[in-house]
Amino acid sequence: MGNLWLALGLTIFAGMATGIGSGIAFFAKRTNYRFLSISTGFSAGVMIYVSFVEILSKGNEALAAAYGEGLGGLGESRLFLCWNRCHRRHRWFDTGGGESP
């Protein structure tokens, strides 16, 4: 029963935050597009991070169930390092100060 009240409280808090934010946006005299773009980018980053962490824990459980705790954790680490290396090799942005492709 305690989890029910916690979930209900968090849902009400999120709804109130949405209502307060929409009220501020509705009654604002001018639109600050820079702030809007920064806050939208931040919220998108948070959503991607939460989704990735959730998928990562499920993948860890699946690998541990299939290969055992030792090999499952090792497989997860190797996959993460391989993804990180491939991501660094194929950069989307030019970091040399020149024009972007």
Cβ–Cβ under 8 Å, residues 94 and 101: yes
C-alpha distances (whole Å) from 30 to each of 21, 22, 36, 39, 40 are 15, 14, 12, 16, 17
Indicate whether 75 pLDDT > 80: no
Is this prediction's pTM over 0.85?
A: no
Q: What is the pLDDT of residues 23-73, one digit of tens each?
A: 887 887 888 888 888 888 888 888 888 888 788 778 777 777 877 777 777
Give the per-residue pLDDT at 101: 47
pLDDT tier for residue 100 given thresholds of 50, 70 and 90: very low
